[in-house]
Amino acid sequence: MRLLGHSGLLYLFLQAFVSVVADDKIFPEARRTWKDVDGREIQAVFKGLDGDKVKLEKDGQVYIFPLSKLSATDQTYAHNLQAPPPKPLPIGPDATKPPALSDLELRVAPDVNVARVEQHVVFFVNEARKVRNLKPLDSNDRIALVARSHSMDMANRGFFAHVNPDGENASARANKVGFTGLSVAADGQPRPVLAENVGKVGRYSSIQVLRRDGKVVRRRIRWQTEAKMAEQLVLIWMATPAFRANILDPSKAYFGLGVHVHREHVFATQNFF
């Protein structure tokens, strides 16, 4: 083979805050090393399956060839990437502006146990890998600090992206704090570059407006559990091709997760290597 030949408002949060930019400059992790049955390698971007054919893009050109020509590991990976289309979610009249909470509503809101959210995310991510016969990812505390710092930065500086306002991507942010990869990895492979997922969901699932004589008396808020917040984050990532690819990449062995709560929002950053 020659490779070169239940509540509407819940859904408002999910739709408003999914990052689905598919630019390779934004998602360098989408380009990976693919190996054929003879051990030859190519750096390319997965573009989908078409029956028993696989489509890979290299240097702006898409090549189509039999899936059976890929190594067994990469055949499994390609099948995992080909996610079923997510069910359409109902969209309200303005999905980009979910209702903000007042200071009073936030004062009486239940506390969010960030550590518990992170524990649930780790569980859901590794369950997604387990059912596809992939090894679980090991958590790394050092890179979790980098991830958590990015979640806090997004909340404090009001952006939602992989590259911060200083122009730093995940690997640059890690290098800045002295993390250049594991000197000794469990599988002996160097891991100098970080892949990244980011997400944002709401602390509540619905708001019911209560009126009397046509006037708003108060709002009844249904708060979410830590498990539900984590489940939403992972569902969003698994429905986003580039993020799904990170979670199900068999070459990844470690990840760091950082969650930060800011007002009604829950920010999450997940770095893989």
Instruction: Report the pLDDT value the prediction gives residue 171, as an integer from 0 to 100.
Output: 85
SS3 26: coil
164 contact partners, CB below 8 Å, separation of at least 6: 150, 153, 154, 157, 173
Instruction: Report the pLDDT value the prediction gives residue 183, as an integer from 0 to 100.
Output: 55
The answer for 12, left when phi > 0, alpha when psi is -120 to 50, beta otherwise, is alpha
The model's pLDDT over 173-195, given as tens digits with 9 standing for 90+, comes to: 888 877 766 655 556 665 556 88
SS3 of 172-228: the string is HHHHHCCCCCCCCCCCCCCCCCCEEEEEEEECEEEEEEEEECCEEEEEEEEECCHHH
Give the mean pLDDT of 219-243.
Answer: 90
How many whole angstroms separate alpha carbon 48 and alpha carbon 79? 9
Instruction: Report the pLDDT value the prediction gives residue 186, as an integer from 0 to 100.
Output: 57
* Helix ranges (DSSP H) in the chain: 8-16, 72-81, 103-107, 114-130, 141-157, 170-176, 226-238, 241-247
Q: Check pLDDT > 60 for residue 14.
A: no
Higher per-residue confidence, 128 vs 46: 128
Domain residue spans in the chain?
A: 27-84, 98-272
Q: Check pLDDT > 50 for residue 18.
A: no
- Going by C-alpha positions, the residue among 219, 14, 17 that lies closest to residue 106 is 219
How many CA atoms lie within 13 Å of 180's alpha carbon, on the beta-carbon side? Answer: 2
Give the mean pLDDT of 97-108.
Answer: 80
Q: Check pLDDT > 60 for residue 246.
A: yes
Please report which confidence band the pLDDT of residue 241 belongs to, taking 50, 70 and 90 as the band edges.
Answer: confident
Q: Does 3.40.33.10 match the CATH number of domain 98-272?
A: yes
Question: Superfamily for 27-84?
Answer: SLA1 homology domain 1 (2.30.30.700)
Enter the pTM of the model. 0.66
How many whole angstroms separate alpha carbon 267 and alpha carbon 78? 29
Per-residue tokens: 142: 């050092």
Min mean pLDDT across 59-73, 128-142, 182-196 is at: 182-196
How many whole angstroms separate alpha carbon 64 and alpha carbon 48? 10
Instruction: Report the pLDDT value the prediction gives residue 116, as an integer from 0 to 100.
Output: 95
The model's pLDDT over 44-61, given as tens digits with 9 standing for 90+, comes to: 888 878 778 888 888 878
Phi–psi pair at 262, nearest 5 degrees? -135, 110
Higher per-residue confidence, 6 vs 186: 186
Per-residue tokens: 67: 């899936």
**Amino acid in the structure at residue 64:** I
